């Protein structure tokens, strides 16, 4: 047993719609005999919270407590048996896993080349230098101050580190006109991130709040941190989500 993030279900709020059961790629959720969502096995739940996005009643939340560690191999085998090969390929950590030779792996760190539409980057005509739209410093969430004057009344962008590298037009399409805080939910020491984000929201009368993440499963942890921060701040605030594909497209 280890202390980790995992889904918790408020049974009284569940209306039995079943949307969470299909949103969970790992097959961790199902409806019981009373048509209420339940966790099938805790080791199937990766704690990333993709199911939170689809729950219409707010019956799901992420908590941190003692639980079995997430087991991608077990989740893969479970989904392979219940949903088939294609669905099993979408399990968090399933890259490299097959029915014949299951092996551990994380899709966020798997190595592969990204095709550039058949173009050789060395032969492309140089483009005009793009202008930066960054309007404050620092930008790393560990370093920014919640009381920095540039946050007051700002449109805030909280972006996963990799988004600016994957999306060539990051400055124009996402950052322009916003103040920025960047973080990596997988590699950073995220202790204190929720509290700092809550302070930024609480004290600055933000105009808007956007979260930019990558498609890899671990990146959704940043969105969950921002959601928890807004809830902790006590300030009602809509969060706009932008998802960037590894191939450089906004999805």
Number of structural domains, the chain? 2
Within a domain: 108 = no
Given 55, 70, 88, the domain boundary residue is 88
Q: Are residues 68 and 169 in the same domain?
A: no
Mean pLDDT of 56-65: 91
Q: Are residues 156 and 239 in the same domain?
A: yes
pLDDT at 162 over 90: yes
Instruction: Read off the pLDDT of residues 127-145 as tens digits, 9 standing for 90 and up.
Output: 667 789 999 999 999 999 9
**pLDDT tens, residue by residue, 68-119:** 888 888 888 888 888 888 888 888 877 667 665 444 455 565 555 666 655 5
Q: What is the mean pLDDT of residues 169-173?
A: 94
Whether residues 155 and 233 fall in one domain: yes
Query: Per residue in 188-209, pLDDT tens?
Result: 888 899 999 999 999 999 999 9
- Residue 104 pLDDT: 47
- Residues 159 and 239 both lie in one domain: yes
Instruction: Confirm whether 251 is domain-assigned.
Output: no
Determine, yes or no, domain membership for 105. Answer: no
Asked if residue 110 belongs to a domain, the reply is no
> Looking at the domain assignment, is residue 113 inside a domain?
no
* Residue 114, in any domain of the structure: no
| Domain-embedded: residue 118 | no
Least confident of 6-10, 35-39, 43-47, 105-109: 105-109
112-126, 172-186, 209-223: range with highest mean pLDDT:
172-186
CATH number where 47 lies: 3.30.70.20
Tell me how far the alpha carbon of residue 160 is from its chain's centroid.
9
Higher pLDDT, residue 63 or 109: 63
pTM for this model (two decimals): 0.63
Across 134-160, average pLDDT: 96
Domain final position from 88, 119, 149: 88
Is residue 146 packed enough to be buried (19+ CB in 10 Å), middle (13-18) or exposed (0-12)? middle
pLDDT at 27 over 50: yes
The answer to whether residues 68 and 167 belong to one domain is no
Are 75 and 142 members of one domain?
no
Residues 6+ apart with CB under 8 A from 52: 60, 61, 62, 224, 227
Residue 119 lies in a domain: no
Q: Give me the CATH number covering residue 194.
A: 3.40.50
* CB of 155 closer than 8 Å to CB of 181: no
Position 179 pLDDT exceeds 60:
yes
- Average pLDDT score over residue span 151-164: 96
Angstrom distance (rounded) from CA 95 to CA 108: 9
Mean confidence (pLDDT) of the chain: 86
Q: What is the mean pLDDT of residues 3-20?
A: 92
Task: Domain of residue 79: give its range.
Answer: 2-88
Is the pLDDT score of 20 beyond 50?
yes
Give the end of a domain, one of 31, 58, 88. Answer: 88
Nearest to 52 by CA among 86, 24, 87, 16: 24
Both 72 and 153 in a single domain? no
Instruction: Calculate mean pLDDT across residues 15-37.
Output: 91
């Amino acid at each position: 047993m280890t202390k980790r993030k995992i889904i918790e279900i408020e049974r009284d709020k569940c209306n039995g719609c079943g949307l969470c059961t299909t949103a969970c790629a790992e097959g961790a959720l199902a409806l019981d005999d009373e048509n209420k969502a339940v966790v099938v096995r805790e080791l199937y739940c990766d704690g990333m919270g993709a199911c939170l996005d689809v729950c219409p009643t707010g019956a799901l939340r992420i908590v941190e407590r003692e639980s079995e560690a997430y087991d991608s191999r077990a989740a893969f085998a479970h989904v392979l048996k219940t949903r088939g090969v294609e669905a099993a390929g979408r399990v968090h950590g399933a890259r490299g896993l097959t029915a014949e030779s299951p092996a551990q792996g994380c899709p966020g760190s798997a190595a592969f080349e990204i095709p550039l539409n058949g173009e050789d980057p060395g032969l492309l005509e140089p483009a005009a230098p793009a202008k930066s739209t960054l309007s404050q410093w620092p930008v790393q969430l560990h370093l920014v101050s919640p009381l920095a004057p540039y946050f007051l009344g700002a449109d805030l962008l909280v972006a996963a580190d990799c988004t600016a590298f994957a999306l060539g037009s990051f400055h124009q399409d996402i950052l322009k006109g916003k103040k920025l805080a960047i973080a990596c939910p997988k590699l950073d020491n995220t202790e204190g991130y929720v509290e700092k984000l809550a302070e930024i929201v609480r004290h600055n009368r933000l105009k808007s709040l956007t979260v930019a993440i990558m498609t890899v499963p671990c990146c959704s942890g940043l969105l969950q941190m921002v959601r928890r921060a807004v809830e902790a701040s006590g300030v009602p605030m809509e969060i706009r989500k932008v998802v960037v594909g590894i191939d450089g497209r906004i999805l």
